[in-house]
Chains A and B, each alone.
Chain A
Amino acid sequence: MTAEATLAQPTLEQGTLFRFATAGSVDDGKSTLVGRLLHDSKAILADQLDAVARTSEARGFGGEKGGLDLALLTDGLRAEREQGITIDVAYRYFATDRRTFILADCPGHVQYTKNTVTGASTADAVVLLIDARKGVLEQTRRHLSVAALLRVPHVVVAVNKIDLVDFSEPVFSSISADVARVAADLGLREAVAVPVSALDGDNVVDRSGRTPWYAGPTLLELLEGLPSTDELDDAQEAFRFPVQTVIRPQGALAPGLSDDEFRDYRAYAGQVTEGIVRVGDRVSVVTPGQSARETTVVAIDLAGRLLEEAAAPLSVALRLADEFDVARGDTIAAAGTLPESTADLYGSLCWLSTKPLREGAKVLVKHGTSTVRALVRSVTGKLDLDTFEVTPASGLELNDIGEAQLRLAAPLPLEPYAAHRRTGAFLVIDPQDGATLAAGMVRQHPGDTEDERYWI
Chain B
Amino acid sequence: MSAPTDLSPAPAVVPAPGTLGLLDALEAESIHIIREVVAEFERPAMLFSGGKDSVVMLHLAAKAFWPGKIPFPVLHVDTGHNFPEVLDFRDRTVARLGLKLVVGSVQEYIDRGELQERVDGTRNPLQTVPLLDTIAANKFDAVFGGGRRDEDKARAKERILSLRDEFGQWDPRNQRPELWNLYNGRHTVGQHVRAFPISNWTELDIWRYIEREGIELPSIYYAHERDVFQRDGMWRAVGEVSLPREGEDVVVRTVRYRTVGDMSCTGAVLSDAFTVADVVREVAASTLTERGATRADDRISEAAMEDRKKDGYF
Contact = CB atoms under 8 A, between A and B. Distances in A.
Interface of A: 9-17, 45-48, 51, 75-79, 87-93, 95, 98-100, 102, 114-115, 117-118, 121-122, 169-170, 172-173, 176-177, 180, 192-193, 213-217, 221-222, 224-225, 227-228, 230-231, 234-235, 244-245, 247-249, 252-255, 257, 262, 265, 269-271, 273, 276, 301-304, 309, 311, 313-315, 317, 328, 352, 364, 366-367, 369, 422, 425-427, 429, 433-436, 439
A15 B21 contact: yes
Contacts of A369: 36, 39
Contact of B289 (A45, A92, A309): A45
A14 B18 contact: no
B92 interface: no
22 contacts: A13-B24, A16-B25, A90-B157, A92-B149, A93-B200, A117-B177, A192-B5, A215-B7, A221-B9, A231-B19, A249-B68, A254-B62, A254-B69, A271-B32, A304-B67, A311-B20, A313-B20, A313-B29, A315-B27, A315-B64, A364-B186, A427-B179
A11 B62 CA distance: 21
Nearest to B154: A77
Interface string B184-213: 101110000000000110101100100010
Contacts, number: 264
B40 to A, nearest CB: 8
B156 A244 contact: no
Contacts of A173: 1, 3-4
Given A77-B153, A90-B153, A225-B10, A118 B178 contact: yes
A117 B178 CA distance: 10
A427 B29 CA distance: 19
Nearest to A98: B13
A102 B68 CA distance: 32
A12 B5 CA distance: 32
Contacts of A273: 181
B98 A255 contact: yes
Contact of A118 (B65, B179, B186): B179
A17 B22 contact: yes
**Chain A: interface secondary structure?**
mixed
Nearest to A73: B153
B31 A315 contact: yes
A262 to B, nearest CB: 5
A78 B306 contact: yes
Contacts of A244: 32, 35-36, 39
A123 B18 CA distance: 20
Contacts of B36: 244, 369
A427 to B, nearest CB: 5
Contacts of A225: 10-13
A16 B24 CA distance: 9
Contacts of A270: 32, 35
A303 B62 contact: yes
Contacts of A122: 179-181
A247 B179 contact: no
Interface centre among B20, B29, B38 (most CB of A within 10 A): B20
A78 B302 contact: yes
B25 A17 contact: yes
A17 B1 CA distance: 37
Contacts of B10: 217, 221-222, 224-225
